[in-house]
Amino acid sequence: MSDKDKVNNAKDQVAGKTKELTGKATGDNQQEAEGKLQNLAGKAKDKLEDAKDTAKGVADSVKERFDKDK
């Protein structure tokens, strides 16, 4: 995962949490729900990027083994 992706995902999480807490404090249920959704979206993007990195690492390892056996 690139640093840019990490920063963007963290921004989503922080902005979402801020919206959620603001909504909760002001009694704005819609803002609270939007904040929760944005926070979860940032976390989901992080997990997806981690899975992509893991898959790439596995694919690279398999490719190295095949290249080594040639």
Let me know: does 38 contact 10? Beta carbons within 8 Å. no
Kindly tell me the burial class for residue 35, based on how many C-beta atoms sit within 10 Å of its own C-beta (0-12, 13-18, 19 or more): buried
Residue 70 pLDDT class (50, 70, 90 cuts):
low
Let me know: does 62 contact 43? Beta carbons within 8 Å. no
Give the whole-number percent of the chain exceeding pLDDT 90.
74
Domain interval for residue 57: 3-69
Q: Against a cut of 0.85, is the pTM above it?
A: no
Would you say residue 5 has pLDDT above 90?
no
Q: Looking at the 3D structure of the chain, how many domains does it have?
A: 1
Let me know: does 24 contact 16? Beta carbons within 8 Å. no
What pLDDT does 21 receive? 97
CA distances from 17 to 4, 20, 43 (A): 20, 5, 11
Residue 3 pLDDT class (50, 70, 90 cuts):
confident
Averaged over 37-63, what is the pLDDT? 93
